[in-house]
Structure 1
Amino acid sequence: MCPACPHERCSLVAEVDVRGVSVVHWNPQRAVTRFGVRIGRRPVDNFGDLIGPFLVDRLVDRQARATRSGLRLLTVGSIMRLAEPGDSVWGTGVNGKSLGADVAFGPGELDVRAVRGPLTQQFLERRGVAAPSVFGDPGLLVADLFDRDEIRERRGIADVTIVPNLHDFAHTRRSHREALDPRSPLVECIERIASSRLVVGSSLHGIVVAEAFGIPARLVQPGTEPSFKYDDYYRGTGRDGYTPAADVAQAVALGGEPPLEWDPAPLRAAFPHDLWQPEVTR
């Protein structure tokens, strides 16, 4: 919990400044211990939650600056609970764990450009916040920034990459030592996924990044995560149904889900470039 505020949500908020706009994402600080003694804190750095600031940094011109101070933008992740009045939203979703939680914003208090899927849209509309039918997780745009063929030529191709959700990693690693640690560096995670023939696991962004590169992917039933964010993602990419596997072996046997039926152009066009303006030089 944030020591300056009684609200648990404050301990979850991380912000990266991108040319004067704060890009909000989930990256809580966790205690670090050595020999049973707490020696400090460090961020979780779950790769899927780092995609938002990474992507925004590359979409905004290096010479641009925020149109005014105090602007905040929410992008990748199930972080709608972290939104505050006046925030802009591009491709954000809701976490099934927080469906009944209080939110800080009221009717008409968010500038929503796109959401992850129709379930998030409905969540907002029930609270009086207009949300356009522009759907998609912005993580689907990472393939705009990486050359899959170049990555595969440099790294080789793996038959299967297992990408567990952060909360499933320890359990998955016991039986699959080769599983990708979702706290590995962001570019390493993206490149390992891009150099795979099949991606399986409970990480939503393992699925998202794989499908961004046109790689078949199959969800493994998560151990702790509600289905809401997965339902939202699949419906937002044109698929009303999907079939999670019970375990990794079944996921490999099933292969990937049907490819997404989704046009990235509306999500690209919805990016809030108007939060920035060219820097005026004198």
Structure 2
Amino acid sequence: MPVEVVNWNPRKRRVRGPLGRVIPRRPPVNNFGDLLGPLIVEELLVRQGIDPAGTSIRHRLLSVGSILRLANDGDVVWGSGVNGKSLDLEYQFSDLDVRSVRGPRTAEFLRSRGISVPEVYGDPGLLVGVLWPRESLVAPRLSAGVTLIPNLNDVEKYRGHPDFWHPCRPLWDTITRIANSEFVIGSSLHAVVLADSFGIEARLIGSDHEPPFKYQDYYLGSGRSGYTAATTVDEALAMGGEEPLEWDPAGVLGAFPYELWAP
């Protein structure tokens, strides 16, 4: 069985109750940020001439996303983070193989539970601009100016805005849209991460549903002292871009667990 690259992409029930167990579920959510992990992992393997399905030993790898609540004992963690909404939940692990995490707040969370965590920080989503440079994706016909991508839970608040882009549109359409933008705003963490990876100015808007934890974790893990979120689209435009990225990808790249795919 190949290595499972864990990511959050559920198929939700159409109706509640016993009937919901019979009726086919909805299609996967396909929130773009939650699809980045498998994409990046596969690309790193292919570039090293490694078959992503080329092992018979079962492993689980957690990469992009606030998905540590999905971890089990023995899982390998490369760049994952904790969601602020799940800090007080009961976790199903006491032993993880951590190679890197999104930022120091996630590191503190794990260390407080007796998990050893190296000081290797950074969301692997920042590797998108390394693996697929912006110039390879830019086209005049796709020029977008401003792109507004909310967190999935904030979609209805911004749906009517002329610069709105739904976070569940096809993954490569979203990556390309961000690469062709001049300024990215919104409450989607990975909209900001991808903008940073391409060197595009970005400003976070505070989410009505997501606690600050994961945003703080990301900014601290990418070489910055914090962030200042806008409260509205107009305020984000007036504030301009956040402090530029100060991050070397070498640490996260060097921590990638290629050996999981060894025969």
Is this a same-fold pair by TM over 0.5? yes
Out of 234-243 and 47-56, give the one that drifted further.
Answer: 234-243
Q: Are the counterparts in 1 of residues 142 and 177 from structure 2 also a CA contact under 8 Å?
A: no
1:61-102 CA-partner distances (Å, limit 9, x unpaired): 354355552200000000011100010000000000000111
Pair 1:164-2:146 in alignment: no
Letter in 1 for 2:199: G
Q: Are the counterparts in 2 of residues 31 and 42 from structure 1 also a CA contact under 8 Å?
A: no
Following the alignment from structure 1 to structure 2, what is the Cα–Cα distance between the partners of residues 170 and 226? 18
Aligned counterpart in structure 2 of residue 262 of structure 1, from 231, 247, 260: 247
Following the alignment from structure 1 to structure 2, what is the Cα–Cα distance between the partners of residues 183 and 156? 19
| Structure 1 residues 39 and 111: CA distance shift in structure 2, 3 A | closer
1:229 offset after TM fit, Å?
0.0
Following the alignment from structure 1 to structure 2, what is the Cα–Cα distance between the partners of residues 155 and 110? 46
Partner of 1:6: none
Aligned counterpart in structure 1 of residue 205 of structure 2, from 196, 220, 224: 220
Aligned counterpart in structure 2 of residue 272 of structure 1, from 249, 257, 263: 257
Partner of 2:81: 93
Unaligned runs of 5+ in 2: none
Partner of 1:81: 69
Following the alignment from structure 1 to structure 2, what is the Cα–Cα distance between the partners of residues 164 and 85? 33
Identity %: 52
1:11-55 CA-partner distances (Å, limit 9, x unpaired): xxxxxx8xx10000111112358xxx9764221110000000111
1:165-221 CA-partner distances (Å, limit 9, x unpaired): 0000111113x0431100001000100001011100000000000000000100001
1:238 offset after TM fit, Å?
1.4
Following the alignment from structure 1 to structure 2, what is the Cα–Cα distance between the partners of residues 269 and 149? 25
| Structure 1 residues 153 and 41: CA distance shift in structure 2, 3 A | closer
| Structure 1 residues 154 and 145: CA distance shift in structure 2, 3 A | farther
Out of 181-190 and 157-166, give the one that drifted further.
Answer: 157-166
Following the alignment from structure 1 to structure 2, what is the Cα–Cα distance between the partners of residues 67 and 110? 21
Following the alignment from structure 1 to structure 2, what is the Cα–Cα distance between the partners of residues 90 and 248? 33
Under a length normalisation based on structure 2, what TM-score does the superposition of the two structures give? Answer: 0.92
Partner of 1:48: 33
Pair 1:201-2:183 in alignment: no
Any idea what SS the aligned residue of 1:29 has? coil
Aligned counterpart in structure 1 of residue 221 of structure 2, from 236, 239, 242: 236
Partner of 2:43: 58
1:154 offset after TM fit, Å?
5.1
Partner of 1:31: 13
Partner of 2:123: 137
1:105-158 CA-partner distances (Å, limit 9, x unpaired): 11xx10000000000000000000001000000000011232312322254422
Partner of 2:92: 104
Following superposition of structure 1 onto structure 2, how do residues 6-17 of structure 1 map, counting pairs within 5 Å? none
Higher percent of residues as strand? 1
Any idea what SS the aligned residue of 1:234 has? helix
Letter in 2 for 1:221: G
Out of 40-49 and 179-188, give the one that drifted further.
Answer: 40-49
Q: How many residues align?
A: 254
Any idea what SS the aligned residue of 1:221 has? coil
Under a length normalisation based on structure 1, what TM-score does the superposition of the two structures give? Answer: 0.86
Any idea what SS the aligned residue of 1:30 has? coil
Partner of 1:14: none
Q: Are the counterparts in 2 of residues 155 and 195 from structure 1 also a CA contact under 8 Å?
A: no
